[in-house]
Structure 1
Amino acid sequence: MNISELLHDAVDGIEPADRLQDIRERTANPQRAAARPWFYAAGATVLATAAAVTAFAVLGDDSATDPGPAHDGHGQETFLVPAYFVGDTPRGERLYREFDEAEGHDALDAALDRIQQPPSDPDYTTPWPEGSFGDVTVRDDGIHVDLLEGDLTDELAVQQVVYTLQGAAGEPLPVWFWREGQRGSSPVSALPQNDVLSLMSISDPAEGNAYEGSMIARGRANAYEATVVWEVRRPDGETVREGYTTATGTGDKLYGWETEVDLSGLAPGEYLFVAVNPDPSGGAEQSLLFTDTRTITVR
């Protein structure tokens, strides 16, 4: 399965979808070389399966001949993948998404490897150290991944794996976890987005991007009246640009938003781009707002 097959239109009804050529054009732009805007990711809960696997059951007669997940042996390639990481929100820890280039046997392998490495955004973390997973494959009944280290008692950590692999696959397939040749008793599906994802998320710019003149910011949100407020701040916290845009909807998931940010006239240097849900209380509940940030450089 190559990246063109993975980036198909199966999730057009789930989220706005950028086309692969558009992504390549953005990442080829020297002013946006680090940008990885891509909205292919699964999030709909369409499978009535267990939300977490905490025990591995011995299978029937077939288990003796089933080696579990395995790659087909071809070499490493570089893939553009979605990677979910853990970050703080007003409602406790939730998942945020980055788009990164990673190496692997295929897009699933690359995405799984990515979440075993430190995230690009220092505000995020990952509970999965390198060596946590082995092989990962897609079968008729879902995605199968070999768990080498750690356990599945941390529901958010499990959802991090599920959302990442479903995003790489381009469809909400259930995820089966294996350990030492034994498959878990039931697969895991993605929990509702509003329950596990930050309600404000920046997809583009990527952390550390550099721009001249202007930039396009994109992300996903479930915001009050679909309104996304944004600011550009100096390192000392002073706001030098501000505005708002509108997400494509409100409801039981996150919706895409996009805006052009004028950076003309700003002195070259480092700035913080901030996207935040508006406060319907008129300022009384600022500490409860969902926020995401990216450090950018103005040339």
Structure 2
Amino acid sequence: MSDRIKDLLGEVADGVEPGDRLDAIRAATADDGRRTGRGWWAAGGVGLIAASVVTALALSTGGTPQGNDPEPAGPAPTTPTGAPTTITDGPLPGDVAGEVPVYFIGDTPNGPRLYREDRYVDVGYGESTLAGVIGVALGRSRDGSPRPPLDPDYRVVWPADTFGTAALDKETGEIGITVGSTNGDSASLRERGDLSAEEASLAVEALIRTAQGVVDREAPVRFYLDGEITDQILGVPTSEPLAAGPDLDVLAHVSLEYPSEGRLVDNDAPFTVRGLGNSFEGNIVTRIQRWEGTAVVAEVPTIAGWMDDRLFPFEVTFDLTDVPPGEYVVISRTDDPSGAGNFDTDTRRITLVD
């Protein structure tokens, strides 16, 4: 590894979202005149580079969205009149600064679904991780500035002036999520506006799953509008606490957990890709290809699972010792027994350094 790259890597802390140093490292590893176009999975595309160039080792660990609204979670022990503002029994699990799962909307061959992205949430100003992560899921920073998903394939569909917070009431076991509008027109959030029914339902589902991921339990979620219980949010009924929907109805059928978008990868060390998937006969294929063009440097099949209404973990490890530095994309996809090429895919851009 060159001294320049070592110096730059020393300025990038693990777990922190990419910043200015990432651009500098990319500049140090990029070829002159590099295009910025993204290479996508192409059936029958360019074959693998000879096996002597790179060896890949695989380790296996392991319906179309109908616009259905999240289902009520069942009767709550009590019916609060206002949103909870404090955590009643000590800190939440993982209530420290760090990476937490956040859900965003992305496209699949069967319509919009939710993808998971681990995001760094800084706990400060008396704010809990749960409160802070809701802002991230809404695409906003603490100061109200835009904070879009790291992966450009994901999106936030909430209006740009939406703010939110959340708290866990440990007496009722409910998570309370409050949303509102900085323009003073919070009542407009009751309707879905220009959103499709699927997008509106998934926007609410994304907040439910993000909040449940922080508290590490399938707690019922009650929604509030400016601190008061509301009968609907984005047209989705919210009179009762809501539960997360069935995984295969709302989640993309393959989702990468690691690497994160823009991750720096040292080609001197084994590179492990981790994710969740559900595919025909459990087949998940992961490949690494050049960011520009479709030249593939490695491809590994593995088995996740499929005989259940959930996503199964998968893991593959690549030896990239002989792969030159530069920009690459990691692509994992499901299988399609119809032969029509209707794969669910998830991608991550990486920068390889030596």
Aligned residue for 1:91?
110
Q: Give the Å deviation of 1:129.
A: 5.1
**Where in structure 2 are there 5+ consecutive unaligned residues?**
1-8, 18-68, 73-77, 140-146, 182-188, 193-199, 231-238
Q: Give the Å deviation of 1:237.
A: 1.2
In 1, the alpha carbon distance for the partners of 2:281 and 2:13 equals 31
In 2, the alpha carbon distance for the partners of 1:159 and 1:293 equals 22
Aligned residue for 2:213?
167
Aligned residue for 1:42?
none
In 2, the alpha carbon distance for the partners of 1:279 and 1:158 equals 29
Aligned residue for 2:185?
none
The DSSP-based 3-state class of the residue aligned with 2:152 is coil
Identify the match of residue 155 of structure 2 among 125, 141, 166: 125
Q: Give the Å deviation of 1:180.
A: 3.5
- TM-score normalised over the length of structure 1: 0.74
Aligned length: 245
Q: Give the Å deviation of 1:77.
A: 5.8
After superposition, the Cα gap between the structure-2 partners of 1:176 and 1:211, relative to the gap in structure 1 and judged at 3 Å, is same
Q: Give the Å deviation of 1:202.
A: 0.4
Residues 158-189 of structure 1: CA distance to partner in whole angstroms, max 9, x if unpaired?
00111111111101111101123421421111
In 2, the alpha carbon distance for the partners of 1:167 and 1:125 equals 19
Identify the match of residue 244 of structure 2 among 167, 190, 195: 190
For 1:136-285, what aligned pairs fall within 5 Å after superposition? 136-139=166-169, 140-149=172-181, 150-151=189-190, 153=192, 154-184=200-230, 185-213=239-267, 214-234=270-290, 235-247=292-304, 250-281=307-338, 284-285=339-340
In 2, the alpha carbon distance for the partners of 1:170 and 1:29 equals 33
In 1, the alpha carbon distance for the partners of 2:86 and 2:262 equals 34
- TM-score normalised over the length of structure 2: 0.63
In 1, the alpha carbon distance for the partners of 2:133 and 2:320 equals 33
The DSSP-based 3-state class of the residue aligned with 2:122 is strand
Identify the match of residue 14 of structure 2 among 9, 15, 33: 33
Q: Give the Å deviation of 1:155.
A: 0.7
Q: Give the Å deviation of 1:52.
A: 6.0
For 1:72-83, what aligned pairs fall within 5 Å after superposition? 78-83=97-102
In 2, the alpha carbon distance for the partners of 1:274 and 1:81 equals 22
| Bigger Rg over Cα | 2
Residues 84-107 of structure 1: CA distance to partner in whole angstroms, max 9, x if unpaired?
000000110100001111124122
Conservation of the 8 A alpha-carbon contact between 2:135 and 2:165: no
Identity of aligned residues (%): 31
After superposition, the Cα gap between the structure-2 partners of 1:264 and 1:279, relative to the gap in structure 1 and judged at 3 Å, is farther
Cα-Cα RMSD? 2.9
After superposition, the Cα gap between the structure-2 partners of 1:219 and 1:164, relative to the gap in structure 1 and judged at 3 Å, is same
Q: Give the Å deviation of 1:141.
A: 3.6
For 1:39-50, what aligned pairs fall within 5 Å after superposition? none
Conservation of the 8 A alpha-carbon contact between 1:172 and 1:189: yes
List 4+ stretches of structure 1 deviating above 4 A. Answer: 28-32
In 2, the alpha carbon distance for the partners of 1:35 and 1:231 equals 25
